[in-house]
Amino acid sequence: MSIARRSWLLALLVAACISPFVAAQETKSDVKPEIKPNDAVVPAPRDAGWMKRHDSFNERVKKGNVDLLLIGDSITQGWEGAGKKVWEEFYTKRNAVNLGIGGDRTQHVLWRLDHGNIDGITPKAAVLMIGTNNSGSNSSEQIAEGVKAIVDKLKQKLPETKILILAIFPRGASKEDTKRKVNEGANALIARLADDKQVFYLDIGQKFLTDDGSLSKEIMPDLLHLNEKSYRIWAESTEEKVSQLMGEKK
């Protein structure tokens, strides 16, 4: 076989090997990355224990006499524990109902609102604080979308109720905490939901922090959940606004 023919066959072989690779690369580059749906806005229930507490809320609201709602996750549920004494002082007289469940994310609250938690009642005001449990898996934008979906649902089902959105509370020891930063980004977007007619926004986060942005275990023992001292900070810092939204005379 001549040298020229051998060179030609070699070139042909190399081309045959390279072509599929090039084609695969071109095909791969044409494939658009999958965009995952924002689960923070997709209503979802949880386990049996969660459902039991959810059902207890439905039984309570069926009895009526609900003038104030507090809606959220374990931080709100904690009014029944570390915050119990403060709750009795500030909220029992207001016919308040605690709609907080530990571990809840925005999508779980959405599901609850569609399955009885606010049916048949017309509270004067509702205080909402939710989203910190989303901060490990959702972006600030996604969390804000989840909160917006909740607010829209409250407006739809409780058109006469004033809604007070609380900024997601600070967490972690310092302002460099990753999840705290996610929450802060969400808060900046959540603030835009206020129309100062039916929906209001209040950020009391600084009340829990030192001047340099540190969070003390004396305020939140695990740097997330509240104790009696911090529940009092919550109640006192929101008292004026809650009273105003409930139409109380001072």
Largest CA distance in the chain: 107
- Identify whether 222 is a catalytic site residue: yes
Which helix (H) or strand (E) segment holds residue 93: the answer is none
Q: How long is the chain?
A: 250
- Identify whether 74 is a catalytic site residue: yes
199 contacts 155 by C-beta, under 8 angstroms: yes
**108, 135, 177, 225: which one is catalytic?**
225
Instruction: List Cβ<8 Å contacts ≥24 apart for 235-240.
Output: 235/86, 235/87, 235/89, 235/90, 235/91, 237/204, 237/207, 238/127, 238/164, 238/166, 238/202, 238/204, 239/90
Phi, psi (deg, nearest 5) at residue 215: -110, 125
**30, 47, 212, 222: which one is catalytic?**
222
**Number of helices and strands (H, E) in the chain?**
8, 5
b/e for 180-218, b at 16 or more Cβ within 10 A? Answer: bebbbbbbebbeebbeeebbbbbbbbeebbeeeeebeee
**39, 74, 174, 243: which one is catalytic?**
74
Burial (CB < 10 A; 0-12, 13-18, 19+), residue 60, is: middle
- Identify whether 108 is a catalytic site residue: no
Name the residues annotated as catalytic: 74, 222, 225
